[in-house]
Amino acid sequence: MFRTVYRVYEISLFGSLSQFDLLKLTGFIETVLASSIAKAYIDEIRQKVETFDRQPVLVGFLANNDPAARMYANWTKKTCEESGFKYVLKEVNKEELEDEVLAANEDDEVNGMMVYFPVFGTRQDQYLQQLISPEKDVEGLSHIYLQNLYHNVRYLDKEEKKKSILPCTPLAIVKILEYLGVYNTLIPYGNRLYGKTITVINRSEIVGRPLAALLANDGAVVYSFDIENVQRFTRGKGLKMKHHEVADVDISLKDATNISDVVITGVPTESYKFPVEYLKDGAVCINFSSFKNFDPEVKNHASLYVPSIGKVTISMLLRNLLRLIDNKSQ
């Protein structure tokens, strides 16, 4: 960071270039890989697991033929084994999944579990999410955790000893934004996105909506886009609101992203490409879709670009598992 500042001031002798032009000229616009962000978390997780008497056990249920889900399962298995966890992948028919989840809820050997969605692609998937015991829900999709997230409640108990679990993909994006310096650490915790504008192109119940709420709870103005409409998530004026507010708004993608400090995409189709000419120069761009939502040209506009987040998501999933174990021990 200090070298970057030095080089920018040094090159400013060449004329009145914008900060973004200076970044391009000095070569500091870069692609940031999820593996480099995840490393510190994985190291921390591994050290804690080494203090346990037995390996924590994570069970994953795969009941679809989605290549992205299988890839995610493979990454999870690899990271678990490298970090000292035992990972069990159970491939089951979708009709058998409910019984399998209920059995794992009662199995004391299982510390955490997850289902690779979509399974049915209907509201039945939401039922399956709520079927997992909150004590074993590593993805943070239980209604208890989601209610806390939307109301900006960070603990499960009055004594504030048991931390609430956050959905692992939205949490991964928050950790990436912290790593990239988007969060302002000079502002008190809980307000560190104050003054930032962020666009999220995805409003799924698993990632997009809880992500927008998390970012708004931390002080950002968030424009949330999906097929049907646009919503603005805010925490109201000033820093005193406890949790976010949502309003339908009439704003185009171009106008929203042109004023956004961060653009986050999660469109689950191979054909979708974000029009990078809409970007504000120097914006931070993050893609959490399994498809590449940004063309390589994004590097001509963005200051920092994270093309995928899978490895950070898995590290947050394991972090959640350790938190569940801690909560149970309280």
DSSP string over 94-151? GGGHHHHHHHHHH-TT--EEEEES-SSSSTHHHHHHHHS-GGGBTT--SHHHHHHHHT
Inform me whether the pLDDT recorded for 304 exceeds 80: yes
Q: Which residues pair with 248 in a beta bridge?
A: 231
**Among 1-5, 35-39, 167-171, the least confident range:** 1-5
CATH no. of 53-138:
3.40.50.10860
Query: Which tokens belong to 5?
Result: 């500042």
**Alpha-helical regions (H) of the chain:** 2-11, 19-26, 34-49, 67-83, 97-106, 124-131, 143-150, 168-179, 208-217, 253-258, 310-329
pLDDT at 18 over 80: no
**What pLDDT score does 14 carry?**
41
The conformation of residue 243, written as its DSSP 8-state character, comes to S
Catalytic residue list contains 168: yes
Residue holding tokens 């490298």? 82
Share of the chain above pLDDT 90, in %: 82
CA distances from 89 to 56, 58, 75, 116, 289 (A): 14, 9, 12, 10, 23
Q: Is the pLDDT of residue 270 over 90?
A: yes
Measure the CA–CA gap between 301 and 278, rounded to whole angstroms: 9
- How would you list the strands of the sheet with 262-265, edge to edge? 30-31, 304-306, 284-287, 262-265, 197-201, 221-225, 230-234, 245-249
Helix (H, G, I), strand (E, B) or coil at 45: helix
List all residues 6 or more positions away from 277 whose beta carbon is below 8 Å from its beta carbon. 301
Residue ranges of the domains in the chain? Answer: 53-138, 170-309
pLDDT of residue 241: 60
pLDDT given at position 20: 46
Out of 63, 110, 168, 215, pick the active-site residue: 168
> Residue 5 — very low, low, confident or very high, per pLDDT cuts 50/70/90?
very low
Query: Which pLDDT belongs to residue 169?
Result: 96
Residue 186 is predicted with a pLDDT of 94
* pLDDT, tens only, 187-245: 998 899 999 999 999 999 999 999 999 999 999 999 999 999 999 999 876 555 677 89
Phi then psi for 265, rounded to 5 degrees? -115, 145
pLDDT, average across residues 276-282: 94
Residue 12 has pLDDT above 70, yes or no: no
Q: pLDDT tier at 10 (50, 70, 90 boundaries)?
A: very low
Q: What are phi and psi for residue 218, nearest 5 degrees?
A: -90, 5
CATH 3.40.50.720 fits 170-309, yes or no: yes
DSSP string, 249-278: E---HHHHHHT-SEEEE----TT----GGG
Strand order in the sheet with 57-62: 86-91, 57-62, 112-116
Residue 188, Cβ density class (10 Å: 0-12 exposed, 13-18 middle, ≥19 buried): exposed
Model confidence over 69-119: pLDDT tens digits? 999 999 999 999 999 999 999 999 999 999 999 999 999 999 999 999 999
- Mean of per-residue pLDDT scores for the chain: 90
